[in-house]
Structure 1
């Protein structure tokens, strides 16, 4: 093409940055000779009940006060993990795109701040297919934005959203999730690679089944020598209740009991091995550690 997508995106990004978009949240950690970073896709605006409704309200309020969580809306960050090993440039999920919320869909600007364009991404690994993780797949021409990338998704997650019965069984509040996921998955149907729990999807990156938030949700363990990290997606969805009360149900999870078991497994794995954690909706860029705090846990941000 005469005007490359890189040139188009860079010129568009310069205009958007000048318009005063939110500053990107970026965190970094070295894993051997590789680098794991986070790049911001902006943030969401959610009603508190989306997460807190099924929880015991009398016990919930002191926790929310402790963390300064209140008001009529939650504004969680959206942090995409980015892994670079000198050969591969791997993006975990693709963000919201322009059609979900006006406060999200900022991944192109965030990549530009790192000197990267969509064509620099060699692989996209999906944790799951909720809107803030997959709706950024398509550009304004309904073509894959990361057009030189290989796409990879867990087999169980793909099968769930691909099933024509999902739109009828997911519940009225999430029908748009199912329709939107299927439309974007159709765009990569002939180029996606499916994988299963425990499989090494790329060198040094293994899939970890973490169902509950969605039926086929996947986390990814990245290991280089003695250094390791886990990209958990939405399996650990916030830095307050999910850490303080991992056994409480969250309204954001499609299968709440399974999600609880998954959180407990992840916290045990993270704390026993003292592994770096990357959470999509955790604060300050989403990167840090889980530490035991009595009978609960606490998030310690890499950003301090």
Structure 2
């Protein structure tokens, strides 16, 4: 049976309560709407994200958010934008080969009533595995065969540079190899943009560099729309409470910290609705100033 038939059967059997895992409520954004669809979650060593931070200050932050143990399990929220003519994905998830807990995007899109062939554009925040490796299906063919592919020029240049695998560090070498292989296969299809470009009508790229050299966020629909932040703010605990801390999960920790600090201030001041790839509750909510830092106020809280 096809995935769509399985899901339809479950819903008919009264299993519709499963579907909120895959999609949250639609939010108006410019001429269309956005929602998030789940790609599952990651399972990461705590040291990969929080290594080297001051434990005395870190411990109470994690305790307040119920985070314990040696592993973190951040959700993966792919943003889906639709209007009268477009079905746009921001990133494509991890695919089937990165880790067993991720790679659920096709099932989530099915639950949201979207077939891979319906996707008209894919716009990338960056090229880490959990955002890029779902670009190809299990047979090595394009997973979204009718979609235009769009990426920031600096991000493309970094991951397609043969020297990147030698400079990225041992723990991320597989990231570089995997990105280079996939990007080479779609080189003729990729379109490029720069910071502050309108990549599609009503969707403006915003350079948020540091997590990767060319990481981009996107302002979708302006002030009353949403701000897709990708991994510029990659968790709802330390990144909010201490945005200025340089953290191990960013490739350029100091630049990422400066970017995050400025971005959080802007988003809180403008009271923008944000979507974060690794934020909880579907990733949608607002940045609220609190004490010396901020907190994430989820849309469904």
Q: TM-score, normalised by structure 1?
A: 0.93
Tell me by how many angstroms 1:115 deviates: 0.8
Provide the secondary structure at the position in 2 that maps to 1:111. helix
Tell me by how many angstroms 1:186 deviates: 1.2
Residue of structure 2 in register with 1:286 after alignment? 283
5+ unaligned residues in a row in structure 1: which ranges?
Answer: 1-6
Q: Hey, what's the Cα distance between the residues in 1 that align with 2:219 and 2:275?
A: 10
The count of aligned residue pairs is: 297
**Match status 1:58 vs 2:56:** yes
Contact 2:28–2:225 (CA under 8 A) maintained in structure 1: no
**Match status 1:275 vs 2:296:** no
Provide the secondary structure at the position in 2 that maps to 1:285. helix
Q: Runs ≥4 in structure 1, deviation > 2 angstroms?
A: 7-18, 20-28
Tell me by how many angstroms 1:10 deviates: 3.0
Tell me by how many angstroms 1:9 deviates: 5.2
The CA deviation string for residues 120-167 of structure 1, in whole angstroms up to 9 with x for no partner, is 110000000000000011011101100100000000000000000000
5+ unaligned residues in a row in structure 2: which ranges?
Answer: none
Residue of structure 1 in register with 2:90 after alignment? 92
**Match status 1:159 vs 2:168:** no
Residue of structure 2 in register with 1:26 after alignment? 24
Q: TM-score, normalised by structure 2?
A: 0.94
After TM superposition, the structure 1 = structure 2 runs for residues 1-304 of structure 1, keeping only pairs within 5 Å, are 10-11=4-5, 23-223=21-221, 226-304=223-301
Tell me by how many angstroms 1:94 deviates: 0.2
RMSD of Structure 2 on Structure 1 (CA) = 2.1
Q: Hey, what's the Cα distance between the residues in 2 that align with 1:61 and 1:182?
A: 38
The CA deviation string for residues 195-251 of structure 1, in whole angstroms up to 9 with x for no partner, is 000000000000000111000000011115x51221010000000000000011111
Provide the secondary structure at the position in 1 that maps to 2:72. coil
| Cα distance change of structure 1 residues 270 and 22 upon mapping to structure 2, 3 Å threshold | closer
